[in-house]
Structure 1
């Protein structure tokens, strides 16, 4: 399992893509990296839009109180599970953009490219948006370390509690 707290800023999707790609390579699942990176990028982008700072050149004062979001990548039976937590209680909504729209297709892509996807509302607060992908190979690396990376710093306790709750509940 890989868990990473991220500042909810415009750089979070890029960081999440790199983390997912590296984790899957380490687990012997490199063939799933491109699809997984695209899906997690869409989920993280939505989390940033829901709770964070979306401007690329944001003023420092806007970043002083930036929210945390959490990325968790794990295996559950025959699935790779990609989960993104944010502090908002609002469910993401799938849009139907017209052919010329430049955005609005993220959740459609996630739904189309994953075996299953959805939203959970952990008791710790916020929401966890997830996507499950059928494993294309048997993992060969250390996909289940004994303890996940923990967030450290302001607001990280809620993030860890929410993702721990999702882990305890399983991936159903």
Structure 2
């Protein structure tokens, strides 16, 4: 007779997960910075072979919220940046998927277009569909939306591949999404 070991609900077999995210002001520089974030992160995770495809997908997912909710033109001070002017970019590698995700405060879902051959834009989601196994839109409880696309990876993710110490990717001052600071005004005499 073979003794069976009882399992407990407290026992968990962890699934390796790698994740990195950043919040940035929705300015035009956010798109190339997001691509650099992808390349830097995937190099750190030793997943360089997916860097170019993932950077292109990130670029396509980030451009629409930057155009829709961004801060065009004039330079803004940190206290002028509101949540509607911020996007969050995230990479997650789990099992055999590399998830490229962008959050923004808008509820409007991206729409696949059928651009004319002469059109300069409108091909972003078609490109994402060609590079990825799929894409979707999620509505988090905090509001807004997350557009997520999944690239398949050849080998299961191994979280031991990412070194513990790695120099951080510096975020340029103009892209920093900081806490809103109140301006201090001098008291008015009574």
* TM-score category (smaller protein): 0.7 to 0.9
1:1-172 correspondence to structure 2 within 5 Å: 1-53=19-71, 55=72, 58-60=73-75, 64-65=80-81, 67-137=85-155, 138-139=157-158, 141-142=161-162, 153-154=178-179
CA-CA distance at 1:87 after TM superposition: 0.2
Q: Distance in 2 between matches of 1:87 and 1:112?
A: 27
Question: Which runs of no fewer than 5 residues in structure 1 stay unpaired?
Answer: 146-150, 156-172
Secondary structure of 1:74's partner? strand
Secondary structure of 1:47's partner? helix
TM-score, normalised by the number of residues in structure 2: 0.70
Secondary structure of 1:46's partner? helix
Structure index of larger Rg: 2
Q: Is this contact kept in 2: 1:89–1:126, CA < 8 A?
A: yes
* Structure-2 change in CA distance of 1:124 and 1:135 (3 Å): same
Q: Distance in 2 between matches of 1:27 and 1:65?
A: 32
Q: Is this contact kept in 2: 1:116–1:132, CA < 8 A?
A: yes
CA-CA distance at 1:25 after TM superposition: 1.0
Give me the CA root mean square deviation: 2.4
CA-CA distance at 1:142 after TM superposition: 2.0
Which structure dedicates a bigger proportion of its chain to helix?
1
TM-score, normalised by the number of residues in structure 1: 0.77
Q: Is this contact kept in 1: 2:45–2:161, CA < 8 A?
A: yes
Q: Distance in 2 between matches of 1:75 and 1:87?
A: 24
* Structure-2 change in CA distance of 1:78 and 1:153 (3 Å): same
Question: Which runs of no fewer than 5 residues in structure 2 stay unpaired?
Answer: 1-18, 166-175, 181-190
Q: Is this contact kept in 1: 2:99–2:149, CA < 8 A?
A: yes
CA-CA distance at 1:50 after TM superposition: 2.4
Q: Distance in 1 between matches of 2:105 and 2:133?
A: 25
